[in-house]
Structure 1
Amino acid sequence: MLCEHLQAIEQAILQQGVCELSRGQAWSLVREWVYFDCYIDVDAVRRTWPLDACVVNHVHQGTHDGQEQGLACSQCGDGIMGTIEPRAGKPIFTG
C-alpha cells in the first residue's frame, strides 16, 4: 500500500477498475511504486485532490528503459505512475 500522501489516489484509480501493471521497488532510491495501465492527468488530479507539498510530478522519457508519468512522494519514496501520454483504448484518470 502506498503512503498516506498517495493512498487516496491509488484507491480512486483502483475503484475505476484500472488494471495494475506492477508494484514494488522500481529502483534502489524509491520505496514502492505502482504502475497502472492508464494515463494519469496530473494537472487534473491536482485540481481535484488537495495534495501535500511533498507530492511532486514525475515524468521519465526514457529511450531504452521505459516511459512514465505520474506523482511521487518526495518524503516517503512512493510513486503512482501511468503512461507518459494518452493512448487509444486506455483510460484517462483525472481524479
Structure 2
Amino acid sequence: METQESTLTLALMTEPARARVCRALLDAGENGLPAADLAHIAKVSLARAGHLFQELVQAEVLALSIQERKVCYVLKARRAVTEALGYIDASGLAD
C-alpha cells in the first residue's frame, strides 16, 4: 500500500464519520452530495461535519463545489479512498 493510501486508511479507521462520508461520495459519483446530506449520513452535526470536510479538503481527498446554491463536496482522491476502504473492509475493521 502506498503512503497516501496508508495515511488515508489510518485517518478513515480513526474517525468512522470520515469513512461514512467517503463511502457516500464514492456511491454518489461525480456530482457529489450536499454538506447537510453528508452530515446526516456521517451521523454527526453539521458543525462537526464542517470540521471533517475541512480536514478532508486540506488533505486533498474532497473538493468543494457549489451546485444549485448548495455547498456540495465531491471525492477528489477516488483511487486512494477506494483502496483505503477496501483495505479496511478486507481487514474486518469497518464500523
What TM-score range do you get, normalising by the shorter chain?
0.3 to 0.5
Structure with greater proportional helix content? 2
State the TM-score, normalizing by the size of structure 2: 0.33
